[in-house]
Structures are given as C-alpha cells and as structure tokens.
Amino acid sequence: MDYKNRAYYWVLIVSLLAAAVPAAAAAARLQPETIEAWDSYVALTEERIEKELQSGNGFLIQDFYAHPQEAREHVLGGGVVVASMETIDGEGNGIPIPDGRIHHWRGSIFLPGVGLDEYLYRALNPSENDPHQPEVLEYRILEKKPYELKVFIKMVRKKFVLLAYNTEHHITYRRNGDGKASGRSEATKIAELIGLGQPHEREMPVGRDRGFMWRLNSYWRFEELEGGLIVEGESMLLSRDIPAILKPVIESLIRRSAHDMIANTLEEIKANHAADKIVRLHENR
C-alpha cells in the first residue's frame, strides 16, 4: 500500500515537466550518453548509501548531514523533514547529465506505535485490493519472494496535461541489524501511454516518448525506536532536460512542488498507518 503512495508522487513531478515543454518539442529520445550518466549517478549514490548503512556513526540519511540531532528531534516530534539532494563525484563535482535531468529528494517521518516487523510484513505482503489514490489505475503483484517483490503500477495524472504510464518495479528489503532495515526499488519498465482508455490505447516505445520519466529509483531506511518507527525515503527520477528559456521559472516551481508533494506523501503514509491502527483496534474489541 505505501509503495503506491511513493511511486505515484513522481507523476506529479513529471506533470510539471510536461507543462514546461512546448508541444512542438514533445518528442524526445533517451540517448546512450544520458543512460551512461544516470548509471554513474546511481552507482555513486548506492556506494554512498552502502557506506552510510555500514557506518557505526549513524544510519539514517539525516544522520550524515548538518544538525542531525535537530532533524531527528523534529521528526520524532511529528514533523516531516524534506530536502533536495545531489550526488557528487570523488572530487566533489556534480555529475553532468547530457540531455537529461535528475530530480533527487529525500524525506523522513515518524510512525508512532508502529514496529519494524509490522511495517515490513505489510510492505512485503501488500493486497491488490488495498485502497489507493485515484492516480493509481491498476496495481498488480507480479512476483513475490522473501524480502522481494515485483509489482505493476498503472499511473495517471491529469493536471496541466494528461500523463499515463505502465510501470514495473523490483523492490527488495533487507535487515541491517537490530531494529534497522533498508529497501531499494528500481523501475524496470516505464512506458508512457497514449490514447488512455480508448480502444487504440498503447504504450509508446520505451525511451522514445515525451521524456518526462525515463528512470526511477527509490531507497528506504527504517529505524525502530521506543514508541515507533522512523521511515526515511530517498528517490531519484531521470527526465529530459528543461528548455533553457524556461529553466529560471520551472526549476523554482518544481523545487517548491517537489518539496510539498513528498511532504504530503509522507504525511499520507503516516495517516494511513494511524487509520489502520484504529480499524484494527475496533476489530479486536
């Protein structure tokens, strides 16, 4: 259930990108050099994540940034921590993405009264009949193994322009010691749809579409504390670049919207868990 929240929020980001790209420039092609740059960005990101997970000086992403104690106290107090991120190379430089752009964000929340075992059980045993947002048109479990899922999600967004995608995701979880766990999700297929709901509905060729969502990876960390569970997510989306003439306005709009949307998504995860606990409390009476 929670993964659907986390996945569809990126469709809100790509809707802003779609509004920014003139119709005359709608066609885009994912270039080999763009894929190579994305792969380098992912490799460096995952190298940094693995070092943090193995560190004895912290576990959450926020533990390795400025003022970690303040961030932790804010989350434990019921707040949401949201920040943009950027992966850099070994020399401290940004990674150029030819003909593309990476949108990289993180966020943290605290789920009172939720244990790690409970959360992982729900994450690894989702129901296709769980309630979901209107943006999620279809959700199917393709394969399930211990600590591993493959799922299909059909998503749509109708703000600014109509965007629809058939997506498949490979999701894995692992334990990282007592009271700690982490997760990784990779979109193994992202196919933009045209003619949604019509007899001629079909998938555009992967990588030869309008270029608003070419790649999507997410990474999650879970730390159980007395009284609940901190849930922290880090997500990266690869899209086509923003036309230079529109960058000053659109970049600011995307940053504001991305901040608000990931914060709202995390709040919704919290609300869903709270509502689920209330339902189970009444069922057990």
pLDDT in tens, 49-84: 999 999 988 999 999 988 999 999 999 998 888 888
Mean pLDDT of 104-118: 92
Q: pLDDT tens digit string along 121-139?
A: 988 988 766 656 667 889 9
The CA distance from 220 to 282, in Å, is 31
Is pLDDT of 117 > 90? Answer: yes
Binning pLDDT at 50, 70 and 90, where does residue 9 land? Answer: low
Is pLDDT of 17 > 80? Answer: no
Q: What is the CATH number of domain 2-283?
A: 3.30.530.20
Q: pLDDT tens digit string along 192-220?
A: 999 998 999 999 999 999 888 899 999 99
Is pLDDT of 260 > 90? Answer: no
Binning pLDDT at 50, 70 and 90, where does residue 87 land? Answer: very high
* pTM metric for this prediction: 0.84
- Report the alpha-carbon angle 40-104-182, nearest 5: 85
